Amino acid sequence: MEKEKKAAISRHGDQKYYVSKILSKKYHMMYSNVDYTQEDAQKKLEILEISNNKTCFISGDDCKGVGDHLYEINGYHRYTGQRGIDNQWNILPVCGVLNKTYKRFKFVMPDGNEVSKDIGYQNLTVDEYLFLSNSQNEEYYNMAYIFTKVFEWKEYVKSRGAYISYNEPPEFIEIRNKFELNYKKLWNETFKDIENISI
């Protein structure tokens, strides 16, 4: 039973995702973003070279989901101190099987230097980009293609004065901390109730 208890407590991260999405909406209400218009939606399709918002810009496959957060809702906070916003400025049409993984680049430069970057929040250097874009290695060349599209979209968002990530106000941090404490408290009380069941 101890294994199951640890698993239950550790799933706090799953619930934290939804807390982040709700807080993201609240942040947008407090600090309104630039309106995402039909023209912006069309520009996204042009930059990503796809015909509609249900086509994965990487594989070209039809997608049923809502897409992927370019700047992760929670995942980059430990590196940048910021959280991704939950709106169309920050969502790219990507099929579920490719979520997150398409942004994680690992390659070896000609000098033997191993590079590992997440282009959701990191940029390639000019040398890295030129190496990938001129590579005969199909995987490397595809990385350059993906980076080009992601970079172009980020630049467009910036040119429109919109944002895809934000620094949390102190009130948000307090809510997160309280949520985590309450989550653990709920489970601990549930564990006690289970233990108190007589056999």
The pLDDT tens digits for 187-198 are: 888 888 888 887
Query: What sign has the CA pseudo-torsion 46, 47, 51, 52?
Result: negative
Query: How does pLDDT run across 14-23, given as a tens digit for each residue?
Result: 788 889 889 9
177: tokens are: 């901390």
Distances in Å between the alpha carbon of 114 and those of 87, 108, 164?
A: 34, 4, 29
SS3 84: strand
Determine the pLDDT at residue 131. Answer: 97
Half-sphere exposure of 45 (CA within 13 A, CB side): 12
Can you name the residues that pair with 68 across neighbouring β-strands?
92
Confidence category of residue 1, pLDDT binned at 50, 70, 90? low
pTM: 0.85
pLDDT in tens, 25-69: 899 889 989 999 999 999 999 999 999 989 999 988 898 878 899
